[in-house]
Structure 1
């Protein structure tokens, strides 16, 4: 299983203060990588993710940045490139979602979502990826979504951003694969995170969207009938996919989106 190790590598994980990003950072540390963590709310060495990474004997470097603020983003990038001349793995995970019907979706929702989920992802990948191209090696993994393939309901900005990210990662892969830089994505299904809390707490939406069966059914039966695995996923369900795409085991995988959804897309 040595091909799935990332020993002596350094991984930059965005949006790692909780949820998917935190679990991915911890699992990459278990697989051997030191971690650079960045989010808008990361509490330095006292953060849960920092303690977990250091508990497995790896280093954790903490940064804060607001990805909706271009100045904040570039300050972070300039500093991290100065502090870490070599970065081997980039996990583009930071994201935001705002729920509102398309006819009522305000400009400020749209702008913030596109800034965080798309514009920042492009800028970070361009800036960190330049170094990877120069060093002739690197792994870049984007967090995509089922809405990279579907339109969703009441999330037009989010769907647009994730659809764009799916194409963006392929564009990077087309240019950089020949330089030994693998660019891929993971598309989580319905995962228990802060981003899906509102949806999970809305029983009617849960029944109508997740199950597509009559809304008078019990909630659990509704979810079971639409997701073949019979449950919502957890962040821990995703970590193996990220480690695989960050490791030598995926050296010939380029421009691919790995769906981890409990079978949703197969229905």
Structure 2
């Protein structure tokens, strides 16, 4: 198998919500593989600048753009600016997302809509306007960051699960409509990963930590770098006939019902 199948050198990759966490891990991985990285965020310019600087210290070509992925006018303006200043977007990773852990009976409708807007509507908005230009070039890669909640329910994350389940089906429909233009649209579904957000609960003896370690056949939390290979595969020629799938990088969670809590 030719290594060139996985070559992303010279490609321009936009990763939304990439100032930290899994988004930054994927952008770093693609950058080290030779892609030019577009870092996006909306909370602060300082976070974007810090992420760009961190990439550049490793020799990655990276630039940052602050815009709200739920604001269609802002998205249109940002995409036009990126393509004029950096180049045509070859790879889009719709990573921006939020979660609100509230029981459905207690959740405000506004909060439910907020999660749906960011986690489901924004991938539609950003993809729509990036893909218009991919169609003209007859090539492109779109990766929607799904979740195990695209397949499973869990207490207190009803809005998130609804959004991620919808994103799985949106991925399939994007693939259905855009494959004829040589555009591959797939999902990437992370399992439970060791990030700064999960650090407080990744302690031996913490109920959720013990639950995840027991529930995962690999018996550990994922390392953010574990997503990089899958992201490169779905961004490269190696996946040119892969369309409409969700690739789960979860240590095997979705493959099993789990084991009894008292089993060694």
TM range (shorter): 0.7 to 0.9
Pairing 1:19-168 to 2, within 5 Å after superposition: 19-40=21-42, 41-43=44-46, 46-47=49-50, 49-70=51-72, 72-168=74-170
How far apart are residue 80 of structure 1 and its match? 2.9
Distance 1:85 1:224 in 2: 43
Aligned residue-pair number:
253
1:246 aligns to what? Answer: 235
Cα separation, partners in 2 of 1:161 and 1:35, compared to 1, 3 Å: same
CA contact (8 A) 1:29 1:56 kept: no
Q: Which runs of 4+ in 1 moved over 6 A?
A: none
Distance 1:181 1:156 in 2: 31
Distance 1:117 1:195 in 2: 18
How far apart are residue 200 of structure 1 and its match? 5.1
Cα separation, partners in 2 of 1:167 and 1:182, compared to 1, 3 Å: same
1:264 aligns to what? Answer: 253
Distance 1:43 1:70 in 2: 23
What is the SS of the residue equivalent to 1:97? coil
Distance 1:133 1:74 in 2: 16
How far apart are residue 50 of structure 1 and its match? 1.4
2:259 aligns to what? Answer: none
1:216-253: per-residue Cα shift (whole Å, max 9, x none)?
Answer: xxx54x44321110111121111111111001111111
Distance 1:54 1:234 in 2: 22
Pairing 1:203-242 to 2, within 5 Å after superposition: 206=208, 220=210, 222-242=211-231
Cα separation, partners in 2 of 1:106 and 1:195, compared to 1, 3 Å: farther
CA contact (8 A) 1:26 1:52 kept: no
Please, what TM-score do these two structures have when normalized by structure 2? 0.87
How far apart are residue 64 of structure 1 and its match? 1.1
1:255 aligns to what? Answer: 244
Of 231-240 and 187-196, deviating more is: 187-196
Distance 2:198 2:72 in 1: 26
